[in-house]
Structure 1
């Protein structure tokens, strides 16, 4: 589904998705004050975000990863499933080259952290709106190293769906809860869980969580 051209050619429409009211309201005000950018929708959870995205079809969606409900990664997957050309900028506290690569594989077009300044946020929005990839410059050297000389990282062996379950498991969700979040059967979630444990060569949840923390997938 192609995204419609903004009614006002020079205006970039933006949707903000974050469960922290201070962040949501603060960046809404800052972006609305920026010439050429207009916030058309806000959401504090993934389910609402998916509904509002279909209603407003913004040029750029700015997405936090840590949210209640289906979470950021599943929100990204659902929006992209209905709108393959959706332009999504991930805006998160996570500081992980591994996570950047997996998010790009899932369809994200930009990645900046919450330590970024307002100028970088604006630059990222403008680049993503053009259809360009944008990654916080501090990650470029490590991403280049990963591309030319991939490290021995077991997480890279996970499929996009398995990585999604890995993140949810590390955040403390049960297999039953994950099945509900991802709208899959408990049996399917259980099969994924077994495959993840084998691929990562971990014996229990404690080891899985430790690996997720080491890779910057979740915060300790």
Structure 2
């Protein structure tokens, strides 16, 4: 027995041209509807609670709390949330961290329009969709195999802070973004530096570039 249920989607991406392209693509179908758009993670979390979409499509690189924190907050409120990450990142550390957060799919922005539609439909059915380009990484993570990625020694929260530090945010800014105290940020910062054997933030930034966490 088939149903005609429309798949509702929330778009969270800070680029208006990209969001417009997503909307046109998704709504040029008979079974998908974009119910809301957000240009930052804070608004995305609010709109998710308001509309309760079937799927939230989230970019990882956004100003403010960023994609990782957005995923964390949505999943904390709704553990069953279906989230499809649509990102330029293919870095192993980032992919693994996102999978550990319980997302339903990961697709790169280099994929075709047809692949995005396929991903949305597959995720809506309760199945995971992983971009073929990074599927081997996903399988490694899901089978709990280890890797030699230097950032794997960081906890989920430390990885978030590492990314924010690499992007040039201060301790005070990170505390505000993550809604934690500057003292807590300082403790995490010290742990990150110790675990990665780094002497200063310049070395941290160089490592982030080498690991493709940020662009030079």
TM-score over 0.5 for the alignment?
yes
Change (3 A) 1:166 1:58: same
Question: Following TM superposition, by how much is the alpha carbon of 1:121 offset from its aligned partner in structure 2, in angstroms?
Answer: 0.6
Please give the per-residue CA displacement for 1:52-78, whole angstroms capped at 9, x wherever unaligned.
100000000000111111111111111
Partner of 1:114: 109
The number of aligned residues is 213
Q: Do the aligned partners of residues 142 and 108 (structure 1) sit closer, same or farther apart at CA in structure 2, a change above 3 Å counting?
A: closer
Structure 1 segments unaligned to the other structure (5+ residues): 1-7
The within-5 A match list for 1:56-67 is 56-67=51-62
1:70-219 → structure 2 map (5 Å cutoff): 70-144=65-139, 150-219=146-215
Give the TM-score taking structure 1 as reference length.
0.91
String of CA shifts for 1:76-134, please: whole Å, max 9, x gaps.
Answer: 11111111111111111112122111011122221111111111111111121122221
1:143-199 CA distance string (max 9 Å, x none): 445657533223111111111101111111111110000000000010000001111
Cα distance in 2 for partners of 1:216, 1:114 equals: 16
Contact 1:94–1:219 at 8 Å: present in 2 too? no
User: Which portions of structure 1, spanning 4 or more consecutive aligned residues, are displaced by more than 6 angstroms?
Assistant: none
Structure 1 CA distance, aligned partners of 2:26 and 2:87? 17
Contact map agreement 1:154 1:199 (CA 8 A) in 2: no
Q: Work out whether residues 109 and 128 of structure 1, in 8 Å CA contact, stay in contact via their aligned partners in 2.
A: yes
Q: Please tell me the root mean square deviation across aligned C-alpha atoms, in Å.
A: 1.6
Question: In 2 relative to 1, CA 174–23 (structure 1 residues): closer, same or farther, beyond 3 Å?
Answer: same
**Secondary structure of 2:10's partner?**
strand
